[in-house]
Amino acid sequence: MHELGSRTSRSRVALIAAALIAAALIAFLLVLTGCTVGSESGTATAPPEPAVEVTQNPASGTEDVSPVAPISATASQGTFTDISLVNAAGRAVQGVLSPDRTTFTVGEALGYGATYTWKGTALGTDGKSVAVDGSFTTLEPDETIGATLNIGDGQEVGIAAPIIVQFHDSVEDKAAVEKAMTVTTDPPTPGSWAWLPDDNGSRAHWRPQNYWAPGTTVALDAKLYGVDFGGGAYGEQDLSLNFTVGRSQIVIANAPSHRMQVVRGGETIMDIPVSYGEGNEARNVTRSGIHMVTEKHEDFLMSNPPFYENVRERWAVRISNNGEFIHANPETIGVQGSSNVTNGCINLSLEDAQQYFGTALYGDPVEVTGTSIDLSAADGDIYDWAISWPEWQSLSALA
């Protein structure tokens, strides 16, 4: 009996010891696996994110971005260790990184219909780095429209010269285009843009209210690239221009007087006999109004079918695209100063024509009076001074 009790007691002790060992093992395993076994107080947390955050403008994935829109990338809670925006060929576009290295701003216009990608690295205040990536695509125009100017950069012009921007196609949104073109003058000079009827494309002319003051400096800054011209068309390129207004010279041409005066700086330097258009037909009428010198040729072949063709004339100064010139014509010497017999030009002697030719400058006004037909749009591309100032202002797209 005693021996049986002892064996039973030893068995119970062994069971209790085994249970304690198992409990201890489970507790140990729970400690080891505490990061994966869920409990209200032991839920795992992800590693902390890097402190630096990069913001792109426009956001990555944006399409149809204007190539002249502001483009930038900014790092908060950190700085850029290196940063660039590259085109599809891998060329980095020009840009400026701020002194504190937190903002990179693109400094040049982008191309049309192109993809640009950010590359670089940003370092956070916590010492962790992130890669800079992302891309966007610029808009693809249906058409781009270019333009040309009537005045050369650095040219000296006469006091009646307008600025002419001749577009290579029709411009639908003239107001948007006009807003992009700025004229600056010294001294300040009142003036306005006017859109004249299309002639192989739209055309915008800027002229002062009155003749330019001699010595005025003029600058045109036409930021046309990237401008929406309307109808799916965009500007092809920017234009800029700087020129100077020269001396004041005005031709006074009164047809009934059969004479012509050249007035420079208020002083008459030539007063000569001439012959104007005969005036018996509309085609023979020298137009009344303010013409403008546009070109000159020592020798020029003139034609007026069916009356004459390829007739060589000397010292020819064009004053209108309707065929009006001031030029030498020895055949009218006998009537110069007494009768008007020409086909519309102003005829001078060889000597007088050569002398006047040497004084003429692009943009000089030629004020014709005393004839039966006024200069108008029917007479060519530059009839700006035949339009009254109030009407001229009304032709602005921003009027």
* Active-site residue, from 35, 168, 205, 327: 327
Q: How far apart are CA 272 and CA 263, in angstroms?
A: 12
Q: Is-contact 356 262, C-beta < 8 A?
A: yes
Q: DSSP string covering 221-232, please? A: EE--BT-EEETT
Q: How far apart are CA 227 and CA 237, in angstroms?
A: 9
Residue 91 neighbours by CB under 8 Å, 6+ apart: none
345 is catalytic: yes
* Active-site residue, from 2, 168, 205, 345: 345
Longest Cα–Cα distance in the chain: 170
Q: How far apart are CA 92 and CA 86, in angstroms?
A: 4
89, with CB counted inside 10 A (0-12, 13-18, 19+), is exposed
Which of 171, 168, 148 shows the shortest CA–CA distance to 220? 148
> Cβ atoms within 10 A of the Cβ of 74, count?
16
Q: How far apart are CA 133 and CA 57, in angstroms?
A: 12
- List active site positions: 327, 345
